[in-house]
A and B are shown apart, each in its own frame.
Chain A
Amino acid sequence: MSSSLGRIAAIGRTTFTELARLRVFYVLVLFALVLIISSSFLARISLQQELQVTKDIALGAINFFLSMLAIVATAQLLPRDLEDRVIYSVLAKPVRRFEYMLGKFFGVLGLLVISLVAMSILCLAVIHLREEAAVRETMQQLSQSPSDELDHALVAVHQAGANRDLILALLLTLTKAAVLVSLTLCVSSFATSNIFTISAMAMVYLVGHLESIARDYWLHQRAAGWLARTFLAVVAFFFPDLQAFNLSDQIIAASSLSNLMLLKLLGLGAIYIVGYIVIAIAIFSQREL
């Protein structure tokens, strides 16, 4: 068991090193950081209103770049190893194919965690600065008002600023990215090229955000015709509900995510990740090298 973990860790570390030394990684993270900073300049409305918009755009930027990084980084792993024949020297060692796949998964996940931490620190810093400025402005505006009005206004400012739900949103963004990694590995396990995997995952990404609608239509038999119903069934059965990990509606509505719902969402993420990786391993185990 420990030697199996050792092999997975070795492949994971090598995968992480491979990706971290790619220039595209730095470019992507830099773009995300620029977008997070510029989000605070985009909103030229009042400071209190800016907070909500800044948070939304920063979260959107992190979500987009982390998802893109997950797909692009994972898509090129298997084809590169196959093309360069590195896979022969790895699998000629006492390495099981599932260990190889798990190592790849954890390598990419490590990269995503580090990217998320970097982007989150900046995002929280920008929001914190905006929140402080909004508090100062509110206190100035309501200096003559009764204290309960001022308190009420300050509560609204803090609700719009960095809070528990923002941290949870970032955690769920990472969960969504991990789901995308596992699904990309799954597609990659039978795909013959990098381009095919990326194109397929772009489609999966779009459809995944509409999966809940497709599932609803299929469950309540709202579609007419067997072709439409079959299509909806395929989407409901195999595509992940990516919209579930999007907390922006929750944050906008300032309705806090309960601990139970958080556990359910993390559980959903775990089911997707385990399911897609098991399928990926099953397919890859039968692949002729």
Chain B
Amino acid sequence: MKPVLALIFILLAFVPLKLKMEAACDRIAPGSLSIGLREQIGQSAFIAVLGGFRSVIADLLFIDAYSAWERTDWTYLLLRLRQATELQPRAILFWEMAGWHMAWNAGTAALEDDSKSPAARRRLQHDYLELGKDFLVRGIAHNPEKPQLYEALARLYRDKFHDHARAAENFEKASRLPGHASYDERFSAYELSYCEGREREAYDRLRTLYQRGEKERLPRLLNQLRAMEERLKIPANERIP
């Protein structure tokens, strides 16, 4: 009986300590897996995912997506990008590339597809733009502290949707996060300057940047500031030299 008691005692000491320490070590949860994933990626890959190789499988899927891009197989590319981002939602690179592939590459290919009517091409391009946006928005939801995805979304709004207000908003959000690109504030101000009714706000921002010194006084900023001064009829003594 004695050894059994010793074992029970050991377990009674071990288990609570184990649970307490595990709770203290809980960090980023990798996120749940969708039911359909096992069918999509196959049994071996799924077991590897369960066995702690989630990240590696995500990398391999991402590499496969790259091959799909080279073949211009947009459907397969989309599938692989969805799988890679599902498996590794903390990889900024995956979301950013997914947004780029859909909005720029697939979207442009759709627009240039001669086999379809112009209306159909525009519709398809719009669908791909929405898919690209969706990737970036979901990426931001998983990684709200990373500026890169806000920057990518801002570029998408600027270059593809021509939505300057949203572009400005996203550049501004990025500028408030650590590790943001140095041009975020400037770009936000530039985009704002194209928004109807927000010229004064844009001018104030450009002015603030100008006052920070030579570092910010890049040619485009100076040109934009002067244009705003003209548009807003800023008094001469308040204008930049």
Contacts and interface: CB of A to CB of B under 8 A. Distances in A.
Interface of A: 42-45, 49, 52-53, 56-57, 60, 63-64, 146, 148-149, 152, 155, 205-206, 209-212, 215, 236-238, 240-244, 246, 248-250, 252-255, 261, 264-265, 267-268, 271-272, 275, 278-279, 282-283, 285-286
Contacts of A206: 47, 50-51
Given A44-B66, A210-B50, A264 B25 contact: yes
A48 B153 CA distance: 21
B39 interface: no
Interface residues of B, number: 47
B105 interface: no
Interface in B12-71: 14-15, 17-19, 21-22, 24-30, 47, 50-56, 59-60, 62-63, 66
A261 to B, nearest CB: 7
Given A152-B182, A212-B29, A279 B51 contact: no
B90 to A, nearest CB: 4
B194 interface: no
23 contacts: A64-B53, A146-B182, A146-B218, A155-B179, A206-B51, A209-B50, A209-B52, A242-B52, A244-B22, A246-B52, A249-B30, A249-B55, A249-B88, A250-B27, A253-B90, A261-B27, A268-B24, A275-B14, A278-B14, A279-B7, A279-B11, A282-B10, A283-B7
Given A246-B52, A255-B28, 5 more contacts: A56-B59, A57-B56, A63-B52, A205-B52, A271-B21
A64 B53 CA distance: 8
Given A49-B97, A152-B182, A268-B25, A60 B53 contact: yes
Contacts of B6: 282
Q: Which 3 A-B pairs have the closest CB atoms?
A: A60-B56, A248-B55, A253-B90
A279 B10 CA distance: 7
Given A246-B52, A282-B7, A268 B22 contact: yes
Nearest to A242: B52
A52 B91 contact: yes
A63 B51 CA distance: 11
A267 B52 contact: no
Contacts of B53: 60, 63-64
B93 interface: yes
A252 B63 contact: no
A264 B21 contact: yes
B144 to A, nearest CB: 12
A252 B91 contact: yes
A264 B24 contact: yes
Given A56-B59, A146-B218, A253-B90, A215 B50 contact: no
A43 B63 contact: yes
Contacts of A265: 25
A149 B183 contact: yes
B143 interface: yes
B22 A241 contact: yes
